[in-house]
Structure 1
Amino acid sequence: MGRYEILRAIGRGGMAIVYAARQPDLDGQVALKELSRFHANSAEFAHRFLRESRVAGYLNHPNIVTVHEYFDHGGTPYIAMELVARGFLRPYIKRLSLAQIAGVLEGILAAPAHAETAGIGQRSMMRAL
């Protein structure tokens, strides 16, 4: 995939698939988000994908992944971003106390609050997605 080596799929949604990938030149790993081939043929979805990368790339917050780059490879758009290897919350949530859950929610909600402070409102974020 260009200068990235796909390691494995780590997530899939209606619009894209996310891979763990390696950037051999820097010997680092990234999350590589690929717009689905079905949506890549749509100018509207391709534009939304680009806008998503710009919105996320503009923000700098510990609870928002860092976007490294947006690129096109063989007609398919990609976003290379920080790989967060902390796993999923779902398996752990049942074991947390209410105070711990409140702390997790506070962290989750800090990201859109930061975006709002940066001038990117919820409506802009939702349009990008």
Structure 2
Amino acid sequence: MKRDYYYTNPNKTRKNRKKVFAKPRLLSEEIRSTYYLLICTLGVMILVLSLGYLYVSSQKSAKGYLLKELQLDYESLTSESKELETQLINAQSFQEIEETETVEGMDKPNDEEFSFMENSGNVAQN
């Protein structure tokens, strides 16, 4: 059987209305519940901010440690680079080249074997 909600008993709806409208709460109860809500909200905010601060400060110290390590690595690499540059300069020096076995095995030419041409102008010569 279908229920027709249009023709309902008005007494039943009045009872339901009475249940909907509860007794008004006292002002002291409202203040107390608002106070507890405020305290809980502030507590949660303080907790979240404290945890955020601790997280950020730990990240700063970790980044500082990493930065210090990178600075030490940079300094060691620059000193190693300078040492390698000095070794390269020493290896390319004229005195070092003259002392190699290949150069010592070479014969020096006499002045008779060389002839120089004087360039009379800006023209290339054979």
TM-score range, shorter chain: under 0.3
User: Larger C-alpha radius of gyration, 1 or 2?
Assistant: 2
Q: Which has the higher strand share?
A: 1
Q: Which has the higher helix share?
A: 2
Q: Which has the higher contact order (CA 8 A, sep 6+)?
A: 1
